[in-house]
Chain A
Amino acid sequence: MLKTDIVIIGAGPVGLFAIFELGLLNLKCHVIDSLEQIGGQCSELYPEKPIFDIPSQVKINGNELVENLINQSKPFDPVFHLGQQANQIKKLEDGYWEVQTSANKIIKTKCIVIAAGAGSFVPRKPPLENLKEYEEKSIFYSIKDKSIFNNKKVLIAGGGDSALDWAINLSSSCDVTLLHRRKEFRASPDSVKKFFELESIGKTKFALGQLLSIQGKNGKIESITYKNEMEEITNNYQYLIPLFGLIMKLGPIVDWGLELDSNLIRVNTENFETSIPSIFAIGDINTYPGKLKLILSGFHEAALMSQKAFKYCNPEKKLIFRYTTSSKDLHKKLGLK
């Protein structure tokens, strides 16, 4: 079992800055995030879009901000658990929390800091009837073992890089059709070119339209109907791979017994603690009178939260407030000589 001072849920900008603020107070952090990469919305939604309201940064894009925050947190050796969700928490008799992830990792921690933004990123699911019945049987949002599609009829829906890349990849082993609402793609031109080269020699098929319904039974797809401006078309397929990107959902956190206000976590503004002692919420996921969903508000919240988290982790110790400009102790922690 892993043991730490703090588990941070969410590796977005606010979670990353919390590592730094907690680190200055000697608190060690483990960070859980559902994405495979660090950075949250900044990396996933707007990596290239400029942000203009980060103090002292006249203009910075999502990726640059995340990179800077990662560098800033480095002296404190955070441990990242990526590609997994924080599923369950349990209060132990010795006062610690036990956090269990979707990858079955168990982390024992003194405090939990929820910096989960708008929730975890999950695949965007098409609004089809009886979708659940087919999921993980003949509908897959990601591909772990592509051999299951060998010699089958597969419909990939979507118009981004992953849809095109998988259509190209599967073209050698199965009968693959790519369904997209228009002939333009938001994908690398090379992939688009390659896909249509394969289509021209009959290795892949392209269909214009949007998903409408699935027919089948016991989780097995028999046919899929899609429509475009001209007509509705039903064809036989055995598998559907919808690739419409990711969307954020709050997930298991709603069942943890925290006081919520329309899916946001209520906190006090003194230390951003939730209704459950030693669980904090910072950044876009919290709410309080006057809350502004700005990255800079999350940074401020991280600093104040850290003061209270220190007290939980060191009930006997007195916390002396110091500045990074002058404190030799802080310089040492930051790896300066």
Chain B
Amino acid sequence: MSKIIVKDRDGKEHILNAEKGLTLMEIIRDSGLDIEALCGGCAACATCHVYIGSKWIDKLPKMQDDEESMLDQTFDLKPGSRLACQIEFIDDYNDIFMELAPK
């Protein structure tokens, strides 16, 4: 089974089972990690902000306008900032690393 690696806000790394077709937000949320994901995944709230590991950034699909616009409303942005709800997991992303952004 494919995995993703998620670093929580205390610096602890979690290895989560990842299934093709789920979004990164759904994988993180269903694991019980603390990701708010208030709007449920429609790029409308920016509460699933994560930092994608630097070597993965260019491998992901480019941001659509609504994701980029939502990032305008959030803080602590870094080069790897993405909304986890807008990235659908595929097996090419096995072992992808990300960090939860501060609340």
Contacts and interface: CB of A to CB of B under 8 A. Distances in A.
A245 B76 contact: no
Nearest to A186: B69
B99 to A, nearest CB: 16
Interface of B: 38-40, 42, 44-45, 47, 65, 68-69, 71-77, 102
B44 A46 contact: yes
13 contacts: A41-B39, A45-B45, A124-B73, A124-B74, A158-B72, A158-B73, A182-B68, A182-B72, A210-B77, A211-B75, A244-B73, A244-B74, A293-B40
Given A45-B44, A186-B69, A126 B39 contact: no
A316 B38 CA distance: 42
Nearest to A45: B44
Interface in A172-231: 180-182, 184-186, 210-211
B72 A159 contact: yes
A213 to B, nearest CB: 12
Contacts of A159: 72
The 5 closest A-B CB pairs, nearest first, are A186-B69, A45-B44, A159-B72, A245-B73, A244-B73
The majority secondary structure among interface residues of chain A is loop
A236 B42 CA distance: 39
Contacts of B42: 45-46, 49
For chain B, what secondary structure do more than half of its interface residues adopt (helix, strand, loop), or is it mixed? loop
Given A118-B38, A244-B72, 5 more contacts: A46-B39, A46-B42, A127-B75, A158-B72, A210-B76
Interface residues of A, number: 24
Contacts of B102: 127
A2 to B, nearest CB: 32
Contacts of B39: 41, 45-46
Contacts, number: 49
A151 B39 CA distance: 40
Contacts of A160: 72-73
- Max chain A Cβ within 10 angstroms of own Cβ: one of B45, B76, B102: B45
B1 to A, nearest CB: 26
A7 to B, nearest CB: 25
B76 A248 contact: no
A247 interface: yes
Contacts of A41: 39, 44
A181 B47 CA distance: 18
Contacts of B73: 124, 158, 160, 244-245
Contacts of B72: 158-160, 180-182, 185-186, 244
Contacts of B65: 186
B75 A247 contact: no
Interface in A20-52: 41, 45-46, 49
Contacts of B40: 293
